Structure 1
């Protein structure tokens, strides 16, 4: 865990400066996620990073607990929340597996589940901290249907070298079918799942605790 935290702490300043690469997809994700939030909801976000998503969704719910492995990432989030006058977000240093007890109405897991090494354990923990009928909202990189997808082929070739030199984190290459099956195994019912917009390599999935 310490090595993982060190990696994300090291890149935190650059991560905070860099603009969002695909703003269209990000806006779609935010708008779709807003549809699952209510003013009285307690929300947990795992892998919250610098708090960008939490800050944009804070006005849609009662409180967000934003967690991340990186203290440096969360420092940026706390500063942004202070500067923006947002008072209903708490920031906690936690791994994705180490979720607070809750209970929560919604768990957000945007761009994090492909970075965890034990997906079943993370999904089981999310199920445990959700209220009955609560939802897990994720956006996750999944293996493209076609092995000829250029970005995927480049990443598969380059990733082991970058990881060897400490320049990239662990990345899981789940197929969509295997990823969705993991939700069912953890006791979730998938409410919606798809690529928005079409062609986007990250899968937006909403699953309800049954």
Structure 2
């Protein structure tokens, strides 16, 4: 399974004001840097948990339909399925009707069932599922524990600002971070 972002979140889960209040900063000369670190903290949290915090467009690529006919979507919570496209052997797209589909968007992983989807003719990435995932349109919809973990992470990365370039962040994870995100993390056997 391959995921690609088709539409970035419109806002970050925590605002610059929340970051500055958490760090007890009033000056504005570090605003651009703090904004960049906030994006890094969100991206890290989303990739380690499989979550999309604020609504964003994503695409799932599949080679074939699962034998159970239930597609497991590892990025969530899934708010809606926008489109399903299947490519034939010549690479021509065919839109799959969404009538009658079933979505368990808040399951971990989310699950999608489509009645009688056509088989792809392309051996690799012959199926594309476009969906919207996230807790909501703003940070107010994101669980408080995840926002707190992000604030702690931004503060720690800020403390490394002279030693570690933003492109090389995150350099470390703060104490207590794992406990905050554990209820939302992916579980494996």
- TM-score if structure 1 supplies the norm length? 0.26
Higher relative CO (Cα under 8 Å, sequence separation at least 6) belongs to: 2
Going by fraction, where is helix more abundant, 1 or 2? 1
Q: Which has the larger radius of gyration?
A: 2
